[in-house]
Amino acid sequence: MTTIHNLSFPRMGARRELKFALESYWKGESSRDALQALGARLRQQHWADQAGLDWVPVGDFSFYDQVLDMSFTLGHLPERVQGFHGDALDNYFRVARGRSAHAEAHQGCCGGVAAGEMTKWFDTNYHYIVPEFTAGTTFKLDASRLLAQLAEAQAQGVMPKPVIIGPVTYLALGKAKDDSDKLALLERLLPVYAELLGTLAAHGVQWVQIDEPILVTELDADWQHAFTTAYHQLKACPVKLLLATYFGQLQDNAYLAANLPVAGLHVDAVNDPGGVLPLLGLLPAHKVLSLGVINGRNIWKTDLNAVLDWLEPLAERLGDRLWLAPSCSLLHVPVDLAQEQQLDAEVRSWLAFALQKLDELKILARALRQGRAAVAAELAANHAALQARRASLRVNNPAVRAAVAAITADMGRRQSPYARRAAKQAALLRLPLYPTTTIGSFPQTAEIRQARSAFKAGRIDPAAYQAAMRAEIERSVRAQEELGLDVLVHGEAERNDMVEYFGEQLAGYAFSQFGWVQSYGSRCVKPPILFGDISRPRAMTVAWTRFAQSLTDKPMKGMLTGPVTLLNWSFVRDDQPRADTCRQLALAIRAEVLDLEQARVRVIQIDEAALREGLPLRRAQWRQYLDWAVQAFRIAANGVDDETQVHTHMCYSEFNDIMAAIAEMDADVITIETSRSDMELLAAFEHFSYPNQIGPGVYDIHSPNIPAAQHMIALIKKAAERVPAERLWVNPDCGLKTRQWAEVIPALTHMVAAAKALRAHAS
Ligand code: GLN
Ligand code: ZN
């Protein structure tokens, strides 16, 4: 009989209870007991929510991050917090966020430390705390967190399946601080894993889920060998291991994964349905095969009948060896669709959040166990919903399809090559050497937020709202003029979020109220739902930008979010290739760009903050993604006249491997994040010289610190070693919306002074 289980459940709570509890604890407004009690309540709720599954995950609940949890389980804390006051939870938050709580009792001695580095969890928008290794790193088991949660689960009467991160993935996710070989630590790490598994077995555990998602990436011989070593050493442990892979295809690691000495293997059958049959041929006859057949990363209903058509013969063949689950952890989807009473009813009928996905799993299991007739009504309802979605006029807009079909290569090309454009732009804009600008947003003050929420709630009318936003725009423009910046921005006061703002105005998008997904720690994002063909009923930014331009003689930069970023930060429809959806977004943004140009906006920035994070996990697939992503940007941006200067902005510094693709976008100016990495990024230019203008960020806006002019001068000088001064801009790393005016004014004063000093030096 088919077994059903879940890999991990979202831990934030359906109403983000954990977020609020954490933030209140950190501020010193609530007690640690209250926080612990809330954690226990959420775990209990989540196990109850998973009733009906044969195995439920234990240990997937986390106060901050599952990788950090694993570091603590392995007794692996950065040296800088060892020997500190307080207990493990204090140190846990110190590593997570630099301090344990607001009223840190030991401010003087061990209060604040550098927080652990964060980076993206595979190709998701979730960030984990990077384990820090050195050649001397040692490990020591601390199973207390897992055992405590296990005892709770057992007391609640669920069938517990502890979830841990496997040793090879754990090493792969970490960073060797001293450039030592991380793999050399495996030998020290494995005895701790063995001890952990033994301890769990002693507490009655039968199955342990051991996550090794790096099996879906390209592994060299050493890393493949590490898998063999690790699992042969762990095979004597008295528990059954379910080795879990997800987010992609095993491909050339399939043989390795199938033959590791474990009791079961979980694969992502949503990403790789074609890989399942070949895998069956490789899998030893005693092993469990867990198929992730429900998409754990997206929010659409599963086509249950189609899955059953495919599963029934497999179930026949595998019998008890077949397990079913979502494709990956449900951390990446919101909790409960039932809360969404304001969501458009038609769109809502097409969706499934975490709880609804588990219901789907149960329907599949019943169909396999008792025959489809036992769930005939459920299957019929599912079929009807999917039919309706396919046929909906909200999804299908023939005019949009015709416009996409009519895209020509010419639409992605500027009229003239860069050098010609640059000369015309220089004549028109008359900018000094080292021109200064900002990335778009100015501080989102409490007043701005209040005005926006009052408007949304209908407490103020459109005219009052417009007046409030105009006042903010005027304030930003005046401030920029006083600062002496060269290219101004309107400040984005009217934007709650750079994706949501556009999504709300585009046809084809819907918004949830509670569709939050954890991004890191207590932070969540609410990705908009891109469900249908995308069109732009009317101009989205022109009126605000035109108003801003009317206040000043300096050039005002129009500010848009690019098609690739709109795509990568949304829940995207699954009924057509992402590349096609991206082309639709590109046409919508192109229309906005041309409207801005018509309104005499001569500098237009199109942010592609999320271009890099859309890269596939396997390098072999990068080219294909970059081809359509770059093409989408070009379609959006390149319809303008030579005189219009196109900027783009990206918020990261790992450019080396995609530099050529970024150059192909052919923006006149690119602004990027570099200040933290000390212009490290510019090393990329050694091998590939970026042909157009570039603004390497000199002000780290993620920090409240005010950079000194001297520091910024040094950074720009460093940049000038690689990029000719005539092509350098001076700007912050990113937008200023999370900062305070009191920080922004002095920082930008220094930035403008730095540019002036450099100009004086040059002449
Ligand atoms: N224009 C946006 C801003 O200034 C860019 C934000 C981003 O790159 N994440 O806020
Ligand atoms: Zn940015």
Q: List the residue whose alpha carbon is closest to atom 4 of ligand 1.
A: 735
Ligand 1 center from residue 164 Cα (angstroms): 36
In DSSP notation, 28-54 reads TSS-HHHHHHHHHHHHHHHHHHTTT-S
The SS3 assignment for 581 reads helix
Nearest residue (CA) to ligand 1, atom 5: 735
Which residues approach ligand 1 with their CB closer than 6 A?
439-441, 492, 498, 559, 607, 609, 649, 651, 734-735, 737
Number of neighbours of residue 539 by Cβ within 10 angstroms: 18
pLDDT of residue 491: 98
pLDDT of residue 82: 78
C-alpha 242: how far from its chain's center?
27
pTM of the model: 0.94
Query: Nearest to residue 357, comparing CAs of 338, 383, 377?
Result: 338
Angstrom CA distances, 604 to 186, 648, 734, stand at 51, 8, 16
Q: CA of 762: how far to CAs of 602, 757, 759, in Å?
A: 27, 9, 5
Residue with the smallest CA separation from ligand 1 atom 3 is: 735
pLDDT, residue 105, reads: 55
User: What is the model's pLDDT at position 260?
Assistant: 98
Pocket test residue of 125, 492, 540 for ligand 1, highest count of atoms within 8 A of CB: 492
Q: What spacing in Å lies between the alpha carbon of 440 and ligand 2's midpoint? A: 9
Residue-level pLDDT at 688: 75
**Which ligand minimizes its atom distance to the CA of 441?**
1
Kindly give the distance from the C-alpha atom of residue 491 to the centroid of ligand 2, in angstroms, as a whole number: 14
Task: Pick the closest to residue 730 from 742, 743, 718 (CA basis).
Answer: 718
Q: Ligand 1 atom 1: the closest Cα is on which residue? A: 440
**pLDDT of res. 689:** 76
- Ligand with smallest separation from the Cα of 736: 1
Q: Give the ligand at the shortest distance from the Cα of 557.
A: 1
Say which DSSP state 652 is in: -
Ligand 1 atom with the shortest distance to the CA of 439: 4
The catalytic residue among 46, 702, 711, 761 is 702
The segments of the chain whose pLDDT lies below 70 read 102-112, 653, 676-682, 684-686
Nearest ligand 1 atom, CA 735 = 4
Site to substitute for ligand 1 among 438, 441, 519, 648, most atoms within 8 A of C-beta: 441
Residue nearest to atom 8 of ligand 1 (CA): 609
Residue 266 annotated as catalytic: no
